[in-house]
Amino acid sequence: MTEHYTCRHCGETILTTPIWMNESPLCESCAEETTMLCSHCGERIYRNDNAGDESTPLCQDCYDRHYINCHNCGDLIRISQTYYACESDGNEYPFCYDCYTSRTSRKPIQDYYYKPEPLFRGEGNRYFGVELEVDGAGEDDDNAAEVMSIANGNGLENLYCKHDGSLDDGFEMVTHPMTLAYHQAEMPWAAILRKTVQMGYTSHQAGTCGLHVHVNRNAFGETEAQQDAVIARILYFFEKNWEELLKFSRRTQHQLDQWAARYGYKDQPKELLDHAKKSAHAGRYTSVNLTNKNTIEFRIFRGTLLFSCPTRS
């Protein structure tokens, strides 16, 4: 004999499979009317217990762990995508991207030493921060603002712009750390590069521009010893294949000597790493820059405004 249940909400007999809520059966109609699924963990909750909003319903636990509300507009935002600013009482409050930028009135092109708190985009353990220099059409705030409006059009800050003294008449575009998948699928690189070309900028042709990529050190291992072992092999690969990498970088030898110099060949990877660590005088203008605490930086590439990505048409 088929067992039937009585809906706790409307009292009708449930002829189909009941939807269980806190060990109480609900008919499909009442479940749709009175409950919803947490958009983060999928747990069913009563609508009256929704700690999020209508478009992003949340159980209380997921809200407490992963979300917060903008101090200004009240919109729900992920904690990882939250900006904090000081109000007049000196305390820091959370803001969404739009409210934060309107409050801070930040200039589109920051000074060379500007370095915001990194915002990690994508899920993974290896993140890539890209620095792309453009030149020849002005260190222009309006142009930079147009680029940023494209890059940050989804309400998240993905990219900011900075002054760079090595450029004649341009600026540097810098992304927050992103997984490769995020760069390929979420970052609107094609539109960004198309707009910079339309505004008259060049990168490869300018001769002054580079394309630098930062990678988080902890992607190479959990301990410093593990990281050093991988970095040593990277340095060895660069020195062993320098002539091929010179062609791949699209730079001239003179440009690399100036902006991304080699360390010099050694017989063993560890020898090369020890040599690199002692070469403090070389500073950051090396092919693989090791002066940053949390990243290593690949500096050999010449800038480009050509877009090519196998995952996109």
pLDDT digits (tens, 9 = 90+) for 108-154: 899 888 888 899 999 999 999 999 999 999 999 999 999 999 999 87
C-alpha 196/C-alpha 189 separation (Å) is 11
Task: Give the C-alpha separation, 84 to 102, whole Å.
Answer: 13
Single pTM value for the model: 0.66
Q: What's the pLDDT at 312?
A: 37
Partner residues linked to 290 by β-bridges: none
Around 193, how many Cα atoms within 13 Å sit in the side-chain half-sphere? 14
pLDDT at 280: 58
Tell me which of 219 and 154 has the higher pLDDT.
219
Contact between 131 and 104 under an 8 Å Cβ cutoff? The reply is: no
- Asked whether 210 and 173 are in contact (CB, 8 A), the reply is no
Task: Flag whether pLDDT at 313 surpasses 70.
Answer: no
Q: Which of 37-41, 169-173, 270-274 has the highest mean pLDDT?
A: 169-173
The overall average pLDDT reported for the chain is 89
Dist CA 111 CA 104 (whole Å): 15
278 vs 33, which has greater pLDDT? 33
The structure tokens 């088929």 sit at 2
Residue 14: pLDDT band (50, 70, 90) is confident
Flag whether pLDDT at 102 surpasses 70: no
Answer with the residue of higher pLDDT: 81 or 123: 123
Phi, psi of 39 (to 5 degrees): -70, -15
Which of these ranges, 126-130, 219-223, 269-273, 281-285, has the smallest mean pLDDT?
Answer: 281-285
